[in-house]
Amino acid sequence: MRFPCRIQCFALIFCLLLACCTTAQQMSATSAWKTMRVPFRPVNVTAIGGMLFVCGADEMILSSKDNGVTWEIKHQNADGEVLLSIAFVDEKVGYAAGTNGLLLTTADGGESWKTHNTPDSIRNLAFADASNGIAVFSDRAHSPKVGLPPGTTSVEGSVKITHDGGDHWDDMAALNSNELRPFTEVLSIAALDKTHFLMLRRQPNVEDALVVTNDGGKYWKLVHMQNDASNRVMARTLFAHQGEYWTFGMELVHREKGGGYGVPLVMHSKDGETWIHGNRGPNEFEACTAQGCYLWDGTLEVFYGEHEQFWALPQDGTLSEKWAISGATVCTVNSTLRCASATPTEKPQPHPEGVVHASVSNGHFAEGCLECRVEPIVPDNPGTRSMSRVQASITIHRDGSVADVSVKSPSKRMNDLIADQLSKWLFEPTHRGGSTIEVKSDISMVLMCAGFPGRPETDRCSLHSPQEFSRPTN
């Protein structure tokens, strides 16, 4: 089997990333994170008005009024769809969305949920109020792209707007203009009110740009972010907060002489066209939610207001890009739901010695893959670079979870370690005749092992989709 030479560059990047990490033994020996026992596979979490909400497989929604101590089922449908996201406009109005066009809305703070049928799986969704919202729809063949900065998703799909709470969705004909057509991927969306909506769109391999409407979607304007000799603005996510748009990301500054360096990007705008810099923060952050941004393991940062605020959490690698804070409790989702104490601080706590989250990635190994996370594995024979094929067979249950994993890799030890990772994967449920069904799937992967020469302690193996190493076709 032959692979392009660019793999060598990828291996070097992998090793440099690995060098920034230490082993779990070097991290904090204590952890206050507690695993919550929930009757389904959790996928996302949010908080509003002193309450926590969790959604996921079986169309299930749980809520907690006591900072995660106890949880109550608010909605469920056994062997139904997978709810990918959940959020609230205020303490009464909320929404949850997921696979196969499932959309749920609530007008009573999550006590009851109304079901809507939409065109396709909802990959991204934002409501301004109980009636007006914007969503990105796509089918199984157009799952979100991977390999982007943490917390960033990119979807090729159709964008639609609703003005009746999700019962009907309108196409945006203006998005097919010659100016906007090349921007085929949607990174983020935000809804300010019934007429003001904003998108962050990507022209692949060329540019990311803002696309804004002030008339409910009849006309869309392309807003180019700064990209000159002195500065480059790279937004990643959009949110609406207290009557303004907010964007978080990264800036490359002082590029006048071909160099420059990266700093955090925080900007806000009343109309999506004119932007003002907000609190920059002390370090580059990663994934952001409507509550704030993941600064590093165990530290979250809130940028809204005149001064940023920090939250100190247990630093043991548990915190993922999916998190929510209610009161003095933070909950995070990464195939399981875990909660811990959160302490507000004026300054961020010290950067942990180990950054275990940096090497975890979410790959697209098969059609319908929602969460296919892979982590580095210590090789059987440190000091030896290798690339080999791995074949796996899995059963995908009606709720999208995985079982009956069988792996063929270079060794039995690798078989067991890879099988453990695959058993935590999650897929879009497969349908037949209007119902979800159980299916079997064969998956082909590439196992790449590499490290710094002469330093076997840095050696790690990682799983990749064969598509990562295929030559592009014209």
Q: What is the 3-state secondary structure (H, E, C) of the chain?
A: CCCCCHHHHHHHHHHHHHHCCCCHHHCCCCCCCEEECCCCCEEEEEEECCEEEEEEHHHCEEEECCCCCCCEEEECCCCCCCEEEEEECCCCCEEEEEHHHEEEEECCCCCCCEEEECCCEEEEEEECCCCCEEEEEECHHHCCECCCCCCCCEEECEEEEECCCCCCCEECHHHHCCCCCCCCEEEEEEECCCCCEEEEEEECCCEEEEEEECCCCCCCEEEECCECCCEEEEEEEEEEECCEEEEEEEEEECCCCCCCEEEEEEEEECCCCCCEECCCCCCCCCCEECCEEEEECCEEEECCCCCCEEEECCCCCCCCCCEEEECCEEEEECCCEEEEECEEECCCCCCCCCCHHHHCEECCCCCCEEECEECCECCCCCCCCEEEEEEEEEEECCCCEEEEEEEECCCHHHHHHHHHHHCCCEECCEEECCEEECEEEEEEEEEEEECCCCCHHHCEEEEECHHHHCCCCC
Residue 413 CA to its chain's centroid (Å) = 30
Examine the fold and report which residue of 320, 345, 370 is the final residue of a domain before the chain moves on. Answer: 345
Q: Are residues 179 and 217 in the same domain?
A: yes
What per-residue confidence (pLDDT) applies to 31?
Answer: 52
Pairing of β 207-213 and β 197-203: antiparallel
- Write the CATH number for 119: 2.130.10.10
What per-residue confidence (pLDDT) applies to 472?
Answer: 53
Q: Is the pLDDT of residue 245 over 50?
A: yes
The listed range with the strongest mean pLDDT (42-46, 65-69, 296-300, 305-309) is 42-46
**Quick check: 444 and 426 in contact, CB under 8 A?**
no
Residue 350 in domain: no
What per-residue confidence (pLDDT) applies to 142?
Answer: 60
Examine the fold and report which residue of 317, 345, 373 is the final residue of a domain before the chain moves on. Answer: 345
Structure tokens at 47: 């908080």
Q: What's the domain range around 429?
A: 6-21+355-469
Residue 15 in domain: yes
Cβ count within 10 A of residue 348: 19
Find the length of the chain.
474
Distance CA 462, CA 81 (A): 30
* pLDDT-derived band at 357, boundaries 50, 70, 90: very low
Q: Are residues 271 and 309 in the same domain?
A: yes
Q: Are residues 245 and 372 in the same domain?
A: no
Residue 1 in domain: no
Residue 166 CA to its chain's centroid (Å) = 23
pLDDT higher at 83 or 352: 83
Span 264-269, mean pLDDT? Answer: 92
Considering only CA atoms, which of 204, 218, 208 is closest in space to residue 238? 208
Span 389-398, mean pLDDT? Answer: 96
> Among 7-21, 219-233, 395-409, 417-431, which is the least confidently predicted range?
7-21
Longest dimension (CA), the chain: 63
Distance CA 274, CA 265 (A): 15
Residue 158 in domain: yes
What per-residue confidence (pLDDT) applies to 83?
Answer: 97
What per-residue confidence (pLDDT) applies to 141?
Answer: 59
Interval 173-216: pLDDT, tens: 889 899 999 999 999 999 999 999 999 999 988 999 999 999 99
* pLDDT-derived band at 366, boundaries 50, 70, 90: confident
Q: Are residues 87 and 169 in the same domain?
A: yes
Residue 196 in domain: yes
Interval 58-107: pLDDT, tens: 999 999 999 999 999 999 999 899 999 999 999 999 999 999 999 999 99
What per-residue confidence (pLDDT) applies to 26?
Answer: 30
Residue 139 in domain: yes
What per-residue confidence (pLDDT) applies to 316?
Answer: 86
What percentage of the chain exceeds 70 in pLDDT?
87
Q: Are residues 293 and 194 in the same domain?
A: yes
Q: Tell me whether residue 396 is exposed, middle or buried, using C-beta atoms within 10 angstroms of its C-beta: 0 to 12, 13 to 18, 19 or more.
A: buried
Span 338-352, mean pLDDT? Answer: 88
Distance CA 129, CA 193 (A): 7
Span 273-289, mean pLDDT? Answer: 83
Structure tokens at 184: 């085929």
Cβ count within 10 A of residue 27: 20
Residue 399 in domain: yes
Q: Is the pLDDT of residue 11 over 60?
A: no
Residue 318 in domain: yes
Span 5-16, mean pLDDT? Answer: 41
Q: Are residues 175 and 220 in the same domain?
A: yes
Q: Are residues 331 and 366 in the same domain?
A: no
Q: Are residues 255 and 206 in the same domain?
A: yes
Q: Is the pLDDT of residue 6 over 90?
A: no
Q: What's the total number of domains in the chain?
A: 2
Residue type, position 184, single letter: T
* pLDDT-derived band at 228, boundaries 50, 70, 90: confident
The listed range with the strongest mean pLDDT (12-16, 92-96, 116-120, 291-295) is 92-96
Distance CA 171, CA 182 (A): 18
Structure tokens at 146: 């991977």
From residue 216, alpha-carbon distances to 52, 196, 220, 224, 360 in Å are: 31, 6, 9, 21, 39
pLDDT higher at 255 or 115: 115
What is the separation, in whole angstroms, between the first and last Cα of the chain?
A: 22
**Quick check: 71 and 111 in contact, CB under 8 A?**
no
Q: Are residues 360 and 438 in the same domain?
A: yes
Q: Are residues 13 and 78 in the same domain?
A: no
Q: Are residues 183 and 226 in the same domain?
A: yes
Q: Are residues 244 and 289 in the same domain?
A: yes
Enumerate residues 6+ apart whose C-beta is below 8 A from 183. Answer: 201, 202, 203, 207, 209, 211, 222
